[in-house]
Amino acid sequence: MKKIGVLAMQGAFVEHIADLRRLGVEAVPLRLSAEFKGLNALIIPGGESTTIGKLMKDYSLVDELRRLIAKGLPVMGTCAGMILLAKQVRGLKLHTLEVMDIEVRRNAFGRQVDSFETVLDIPVLGQPSFPAVFIRAPRIESVGDGVEVLSNLPDGTAVAVRQGNLLATSFHPELTDDLRFHDYFLSIINGNPEVKADDD
């Protein structure tokens, strides 16, 4: 059975674990690099990218995660999780994983009161459109050549992107009952059965 870790430094990790368990996969909270053994994939949740990024450094997870991602570990980052994956981040002083070829701007949709819900057309998920919750979300400002845009807001802003085994969203798919986005991540993982965190 696939084992998926959810980085549990801070933020909405409980909701991701619940969604994965509803989909019938083994989901575990992760805090230490020793717990990466046997992992098939990782989710980095939303929360505060400054806090999560600092704790990742303090727990010495950054280099190990970069190594696993370079080997092909599938990773999904939502909201703050997307910030932590992005190669370029406006509004964050900290260096983080910097593995996904996107540029994002923190809090670019406004303050807490400007948080919003909408429905998105995400062709890889089919119909109906997908409910999306944006909470002090980062905005994707630009994407590199190898990055596929999976969904846009009506003004053209990309809000869900994929680059190989990396998946990132500005919104929070774990905060609604719709499991299709997590299911899509599972399909990426299942397309890469050979990738395990303890392979050398």
**Interface segment toward ligand GLN; rule CB under 6 A; list 24-32, 40-48, 149-157, 181-189:** 40-48
For 136, list phi and psi in degrees, rounded to 5.
Answer: 40, 55
- Strand 139-143, strand 166-169: pairing: unpaired
Q: Under rule CB under 6 A, how many of the chain's residues touch ligand GLN? A: 11
Does residue number 173 form part of the binding site for ligand GLN (CB under 6 A)? no
- Catalytic residue among 16, 64, 148, 172, which? 172
| 79 labelled catalytic | yes
Residue 178, amino acid? D
Question: Measured between alpha carbons, how far is 44 from 68 in angstroms, rounded to an integer?
Answer: 14
Active-site residue, 182 included: no
Q: What angle do CA 195, 196, 200 make, to 5 degrees?
A: 95
5 or 47, CB closer to ligand GLN?
47
Closest distance of CB 82 from ligand GLN, Å: 8
Planar angle of CA 93, 48, 64, nearest 5 degrees: 70
Does 83 bind ligand GLN (CB under 6 A)? Our answer is yes
Active site residues: 79, 172, 174
Residues that bind ligand GLN (CB under 6 A): 46-49, 79-80, 83, 106-107, 135-136
